[in-house]
Amino acid sequence: MAADRAGVVTLMKPAGDGWEPVTGGESDTSVYRRGSVFAKCCAPSGVPELEAERDRIAWLAGTGMPSATVVDWLVSEDGACLLTSAVPGVAGIDLPSWGWLGAMETLGRTLRELHALPDCPFERPLASVVASAQDVVRRGAVNADFLTDEWRAVAPESLLAQVVAESTYVESVTELAVCHGDACLPNVFFDPLTLRVTGFIDVGRLGIADRYADLALTTIQLYDVWSVDPTPFLTSYGLTEPDRRRLDFYRLLDPLTWG
């Protein structure tokens, strides 16, 4: 059994023995691992979202970018399970400090390659993201753990008002690219020896969006989690004078969309 926002529901589980539960993550799913395969399972209400993630994983793998691949898709009246290959290497959040500089440089180059992919069939327009934030705030579902100390001292409605007021500017300077959508260190894997990027995971928000939606999350993660200056990452990406206004905008918008 697993609790969702509507109550207690039964989540589908992968068939067979040997599956070990995996902790962590922020979505209403259960995750299991068996060898080199992961299974992400959801209740019936979560099937459309998990199906959308399946389609994004399959598309990204087909581009040649380092990523997981779809192994199987199981759906029934109990929900669905998405089986994917494990990405080799170490998650960025677990990478030792001696590798941080090299990892920032390879991540900058790889993210730029992701952003430059052609013919992406998925979109994540800013208006829809702001609408999601409005829904989360309206329901009182903002997760305070995702907010800074400064933001926690402000009512979510006021934070949302800042986003809405600034969105006109952001729309006017948007640079569309294929964005990961949640480009945080736990979602990027590295070879611990060569420090090359071995894959992106959790691509359920992947789609055409302003490239700063990714850049804002990556840079703030580098600063908060690794306690490093993200300049080497931005330089490797090819951005020497980032738009600080857009970085601030997306850093505020993102935590208001999880709820």
Measured CA to CA in angstroms, residue 166 lies from 123, 129, 211, 254 at distances of: 21, 14, 17, 14
User: Would you say 61 and 68 are in contact if contact means Cβ atoms under 8 Å apart?
Assistant: yes
Question: What is the pLDDT, as a whole number, of residue 86?
Answer: 96
d(CA 131, CA 247): 19
d(CA 94, CA 198): 14
Work out the burial of residue 41: count CB atoms within 10 Å of its CB; fewer than 13 is exposed, 13-18 middle, 19 or more buried: buried
User: Would you say 126 and 233 are in contact if contact means Cβ atoms under 8 Å apart?
Assistant: no
Measured CA to CA in angstroms, residue 147 lies from 155, 218, 253 at distances of: 11, 16, 10
d(CA 28, CA 144): 17
Question: What is the pLDDT, as a whole number, of residue 24?
Answer: 57
Identify whether residues 166 and 128 lie together within a single domain.
Answer: yes
| Number of structural domains in the chain | 2
State both tokens at 51: 């199906």
User: Would you say 33 and 68 are in contact if contact means Cβ atoms under 8 Å apart?
Assistant: no
Domain at 29, CATH number: 3.30.200.20
In terms of phi and psi (left: phi > 0; alpha: psi -120 to 50; beta: otherwise), the region of 160 is alpha
Active site residue 182: yes
What global pTM score does this model have?
0.92
User: Would you say 218 and 233 are in contact if contact means Cβ atoms under 8 Å apart?
Assistant: yes
Identify whether residues 78 and 95 lie together within a single domain.
Answer: no
User: Would you say 200 and 66 are in contact if contact means Cβ atoms under 8 Å apart?
Assistant: yes
- Calculate Rg over the CA atoms of the chain: 18
Question: What is the pLDDT, as a whole number, of residue 26?
Answer: 52
d(CA 247, CA 129): 16
Helix, strand, or coil (residue 212): helix
Identify whether residues 178 and 109 lie together within a single domain.
Answer: yes
Q: Would you give the DSSP letter of residue 6? A: T
Question: What is the pLDDT, as a whole number, of residue 248?
Answer: 98
Which residues, including other chains, have CB under 8 Å from residue 172's CB and lie 6 or more apart?
none
Domain boundary among 37, 69, 85: 85
* H helix or E strand, kind and range, residue 34: strand 30-34
Identify whether residues 104 and 197 lie together within a single domain.
Answer: yes
Identify whether residues 54 and 103 lie together within a single domain.
Answer: no
Question: What is the pLDDT, as a whole number, of residue 215?
Answer: 98
Domain boundary among 47, 66, 85: 85
Domain boundary among 85, 114, 149: 85
State the residue for tokens 């309206």. Answer: 138
Which residue range is the domain that position 95 belongs to?
90-257
Question: What is the pLDDT, as a whole number, of residue 137?
Answer: 98
Q: Extract the residue ranges of the chain whose pLDDT is less than 50.
A: 1-9
d(CA 188, CA 174): 24
Identify whether residues 109 and 130 lie together within a single domain.
Answer: yes
Identify whether residues 29 and 102 lie together within a single domain.
Answer: no
The residue type found at 49 is: E
Q: Which residues pair with 200 in a beta bridge?
A: 67, 188
28, 182, 210, 214: the catalytic one is 182
Which residues, including other chains, have CB under 8 Å from residue 1's CB and lie 6 or more apart?
8, 9, 10, 11
Identify whether residues 80 and 65 lie together within a single domain.
Answer: yes
